[in-house]
Amino acid sequence: MDIKEELKPPQDSVVVEDSYHMVTRRGFVSWLTVGWGAFAGATAIMGAAFQRFLFPNVLREPPQEFKIGFPNDFLEGVVDLRMQDKYGIWVVRGFDPATSQTGIYVLSVICTHLGCTPTWLESEAKFKCPCHGSGFYKTGINFEGPAPRPLERFRVVLAEDGQVQVDKGKKFQYEKGEWTQPEAFLKV
Amino acid sequence: MEALRHTINAFATPTTIYLSSVALFAIAMWKMEIVVKPLVMIPVVIVTVLGTIFALTDDHFFKLVTLPDNIPITIMLATVGYFTWYALKKGVENDKRLSENRPLIEQEQDRRVMTWPNLVYIEFICLIAITVFLIFWSIGFQAPLEEPANPTVTPNPAKAPWYFLGLQEMLVYFDPWLAGVVFPGLIVVGLMALPYIDPNPKGNGYYSFKDRRLVIGYYLFGFLIQWVLLIVLGTFMRGPGWSFFGPFQEWDPHKVEALTNINLSELLWVKLLNIGLPKNILLREGVGIVVVLGYLVALPPLLAKTIFKKLYQELSFIRFQIMCFLFLAMLSLPIKMILRWTINLKYIVAIPEFFFNI
C-alpha cells in the first residue's frame, strides 16, 4: 500500500510546456511499429538470402555405390574394418545366425541410438558404442545398452566382374523384417 | 590402503551410489535442523577432505580429477555444497525464530540497499574478476584439442561437455527424442513455470525450510540428485564403452558387464507367456502403453487423494495437474534406472518401427 503511494509522482510535476519535443503515446507506438517492422523485414530478407546456402554449386559426396573387392578378399568369420574410414561400413563374412545363411553382409557403422561409431571388440565379439554403451553382436543385433534396434545393413551384390558391390543408398532394417530380402545378403 | 580401494571400487555401482545418495538426501530432508548444525557439518567436511586426499594418492583418480575438463566439476561440487548448506542453515534458523515468535533474520538486520550504485558496482567488480580469472585459466590450462573431426571415429569414451553429462547419462535409459528433446525441454519450461504453479507466499524474501519442505525437497532432488550427481557419475565413473568404473579402477575398454537388456513386451510375451511376440504392434506393446498412460493419467488423481492431499487443496486443479506431470516426468528417470539395474528392462513401450520407445 505505502509502496504504491511512494511510486506515484507528485501531481504538480507533470507539467509539459514544450509540445514540439513531446512524444505522444500514439507517436511512440507508431515509431516502435515502424522500427520493429523494418527489423523484421531486414531479418526476413537476410533469412531468404541464406536459403542460397542450401543449394551449393558443388556437392562433394562420396559415391553411394562402390566395389570393395572380391569375395575371397574377406576372411571367414572376420569382421572387416578396412572399409570403416573410407565408406563407413563393416563387412562380415561367415555364417549369419540372424538369417541362417552363409556369406557376406555389410553393416552400417552408425549406432542406432544416437549415431556414434561403435568400436569392434574382437575378444568380446561385439560392437560397443562409446557414447552410451550400446552393444551389438557381430550380426548387428542390439543386445545391451539403450540402442532400440539393430544396426542397418546395406545392399550387397556380386558385380559382373566378380567383385562385391555395396550400395549404401538401399538399407535393410531387421525390425522391418528386411534382412531376409535377397540383396541384403550375399551368398558365397 | 589397497584393500580400502578395492572395497570402495566394489561398492561403487550405479545402483549403490544412486540409492545411497537418495537415502542420505531423504535423511537430510527429514532431520534438516540437525544436519545443518556445525557439529554435524564440520566432521562431514573433514571426512570429505581427508577422503579426497586419500583418493588423490591413487594415480588413476589423480589423473582423472586434475584433467583440465574436470577441475570445474570439483569447484562446482564445493560451491554447490557450500551454498546449499548456507541457504538451508538460514532457513532452519528462521524456522526456529518463527516458532519462538521472534523476528526473522532478514527483519532483524535490514541489509537492503539501493540497486544503484551498490548492486551494479558489485556486479561490475565481479565481471572484471571473472574475466581476469578466465584469462589466467585459459593461459594455465590448454584446450583439449584433438585431430580434425572424423565421422567414422568416435573417441572412447565420448563425453559431452561436463555440464551436459547428466543429459548423457539420461540417454542411457531413454530414447534420444525423450532424453535429448522432451526432458531437457520440460526441465527448462518446468523451471520457468514454477512461480506460476506455486502461489504459496511463504518463503518470499526470506530463508525458510519447514514451511516449504516439500517444494524445497522437490527442487533439490531434481538439482542435486538428478543433475549434479549424474554429472559426477558421468565424469568420474563412466569410462570406455560408457561402462561403469569405480573411482580407483583402471579404464579398461574390454570391461564386460552383463547388460543384456530386454523390452517389456519381450518380458511379457516371450519370457512369461512363452508364445513369441505378436505381429500386431499395438497388441505387442499394449501392456507398455497402458502402463505409461496409467502412470501419466491415472496416477495424478490418486496422488491428489493420498500423499499430495494438502497440496491438491492449496493448488487449483490445472496447477495441480501440471505440477503432477512435471513431478512424474522427473521421477520417470529413477524409475527407469532402477528397472534397468534390477530386471535389465530396456523400454516399456518399444516401437522401433516408428522410432517411438519409452
**DSSP assignment of B148-159:** PP-TT---SS--
Q: Are residues A28 and A81 in the same domain?
A: no
Q: Look-up: residue for cell 540402442?
A: A147
Could you tell me if A91 and A50 lie in one domain? Answer: no
Which residue intervals of chain B are DSSP H helices?
Answer: 2-11, 14-30, 32-35, 38-56, 59-65, 71-99, 105-108, 120-140, 165-171, 176, 183-197, 213-220, 230-232, 264-266, 281-293, 299-305, 309-314, 317-343
Which chain A residues are Cβ-neighbours of B253 within 8 angstroms?
119, 121, 128
Distance of CA A141 to the CA centre of its chain: 20
Query: Which residue in chain A has the smallest CA separation from B349?
Result: A148
Type of residue numbered B269 = W
Query: Can you give the residue ranges of every domain in chain B?
Result: 2-114+206-242, 264-357
Whether residue A83 is contained in a domain is answered as yes
pLDDT at residue B144 tops 90: no
Find, among B258, B272, B232, B216, the residue nearest to B75 by Cα. Answer: B232
* Chain B CB within 8 Å of residue A38 CB: no
CATH number of A140's domain = 2.102.10.10
CA angle B206, B209, B210 (to 5 degrees): 125
- Which of chain A's residues have a Cβ under 8 Å away from the Cβ of B259? 133, 135, 143-145
* Top-ranked range on mean pLDDT: pick from A100-104, A164-168, A184-188, B63-67: A164-168
Cell numbers at B77, concatenated: 561440487
At which residue does the C-alpha cell 571415429 appear? B153
Nearest to A153 by CA among A93, A84, A99, A107: A107
Is the model's pLDDT at A4 over the cut of 60? no
Instruction: Return the SS3 of B146.
Output: coil
- Both A49 and A77 in one domain: the answer is no
Q: What's the confidence (pLDDT) of residue A19? A: 67
Residues of chain B found within 8 Å of residue A113, distances taken between Cβ atoms: 171, 176
Domain end position, chosen among A34, A54, A74: A54
Q: What is the pLDDT of residue A8?
A: 53
The verdict on a CB contact (< 8 Å) between A119 and B352 is no
For residues A33 and A71, membership in a common domain is answered with no
DSSP annotation string for B159-180: ---GGGHHHHHHHTTS-HIIII
Q: Are residues A46 and A116 in the same domain?
A: no
Q: Return contacts of B313-316, CB within 8 angstroms, 24+ apart.
A: B314/B199, B314/B200, B315/B197, B315/B198, B315/B199
Ranges assigned E (strand) in chain B: 350-351, 356-357
A123 within some domain: yes
A18 & A79 share domain? no
Residue A1 pLDDT greater than 50, yes or no: no
| Mean pLDDT confidence for B169-181 | 90
- Does residue A151 lie within any of the structural domains? yes
Q: Choose the final residue of a domain: A16, A35, A54.
A: A54
For residues A44 and A83, state if they share a domain: no
Report chain B residues whose CB lies below 8 A from the CB of A146: 171-175, 346
Distance from CA of B305 to the nearest CA of A (A): 36
CA-to-CA distance for B77 and B29, rounded, in angstroms? 19
Shared domain check, A72 and A31: no
Whether residue A47 lies inside any domain: the answer is yes
| Residue A60 within any structural domain of the chain | no
pLDDT at B249 over 80: yes
- A16 inside domain: yes
- Other CB atoms within 10 Å distance of the CB of residue B100: 7
Q: Pick the closest to residue A149 from A106, A180, A121, A111 (CA basis).
A: A111
Identify the pLDDT of residue A12. Answer: 55
Q: Do A92 and A120 fall within a single domain?
A: yes
Task: Say whether both A126 and A147 belong to one domain.
Answer: yes
Angstroms from B348 CA to nearest CA on chain A: 11
State the DSSP H helix or E strand holding residue B94, giving kind and residue range, or none if neither: helix B71-99
Parent domain of A23: 2-54
| Residue A102: partners with Cβ closer than 8 Å, 6 or more residues away | A94, A95, A96, A187, A188
Interface touch A132/B172, C-beta < 8 Å:
yes
> Is a pLDDT exceeding 60 seen at residue B85?
yes
Indicate yes or no: CB of B257 within 8 angstroms of CB of A149. Answer: no
- Contact across the interface for B242 and A119, Cβ inside 8 Å: no
Q: Which three cell numbers stand for residue B328?
A: 512424474
- Within this chain, do residues A101 and A157 fall inside the same structural domain, yes or no? yes
Of B152, B158, B241, Cβ closest to residue A88: B152
From the list A109, A124, A130, which residue is nearest B242 (CB)?
A: A130
Instruction: Residue A59: count other Cβ atoms within 10 Å of its Cβ.
Output: 6
Q: Would you list which residues of chain B are within 8 Å, Cβ to Cβ, of chain A?
A: 150-158, 168, 171-176, 180, 240-243, 253-254, 256-257, 259-261, 346-347, 350, 352-353, 355, 357
DSSP 3-state percent helix, strand, coil across chain A (nearest 5)? 30, 25, 45
The pLDDT value given to residue B161: 87
Place of cell 511512494: A6
Neighboring chain A residues of B174 at a CB cutoff of 8 Å: 146
pLDDT digits (tens, 9 = 90+) for B287-318: 999 999 999 999 999 988 988 888 888 888 89
**Residue A95 covered by a domain:** yes
Gap from A88 CA to chain B (nearest CA, Å): 6
Are B171 and A114 in contact (CB < 8 Å)? yes
CB contact under 8 A, B174 and A146: yes
Looking at the structure, do residues A105 and A137 belong to the same domain, yes or no? yes
Residues 53-112 of A with CB under 8 A from B: 84-85, 88, 109, 112
**To which H or E segment does residue B93 belong?**
helix B71-99
Position B122 pLDDT exceeds 60: yes
Any CB–CB contact under 8 A between A143 and chain B?
A: yes
Q: What angle do CA A110, A115, A121 make, to 5 degrees?
A: 55
- Helix/strand/coil (H, E, C) string of B329-354? HHHHHHHHHHHHHHHCECCCCEEHHH
> Using one digit for the tens of pLDDT, what is the confidence trace for B234-245?
989 998 888 889
Which pLDDT tens digit goes with each residue over A13-42?
555 566 677 788 898 999 999 999 999 999
Selected for mutation to probe chain A from B242, B266, B333, B344 (highest A CB count within 10 Å) is B242
Bridge partners of A92, per DSSP, are: A79, A105
Q: Percent of chain B, pLDDT > 70?
A: 100
Reference B307, options B332, B328, B329, B333; nearest CA is: B328
pLDDT tier at B130 (50, 70, 90 boundaries)? very high
pLDDT at B177 over 80: yes
Predicted local confidence at residue A6, as pLDDT: 52
> Helix, strand or coil for residue A169?
strand
Residue of A nearest to B344 (CA): A144
pLDDT digits (tens, 9 = 90+) for A65-86: 999 999 999 998 889 999 998 8
Q: Quick check: A152 pLDDT over 90?
A: yes
Query: Going by DSSP bridges, is the β-strand pair A126-128/B356-357 parallel, antiparallel, or unpaired?
Result: unpaired
Pairwise CB contact (< 8 Å): A130 & B241: yes
Kindly report the number of other CB atoms within 10 A of residue B85's CB atom: 17
Task: Please count the structural domains in chain A.
Answer: 2
Give the Cα separation of B242 and B255 in Å (integer).
Answer: 10
Closest partner CB to A144 (pick from B253, B261, B357): B261
B288's CB contacts (< 8 A; 6+ apart) are: B263, B264, B265, B347, B348, B349, B350, B358
Instruction: Tell me which of B150, B154, B173, B174 to substitute to probe the interface with A (most A C-beta atoms closer than 10 Å).
Output: B154
- Whether A59 is covered by a domain: the verdict is no
Give the confidence band of A58 by pLDDT, cuts at 50, 70, 90: confident
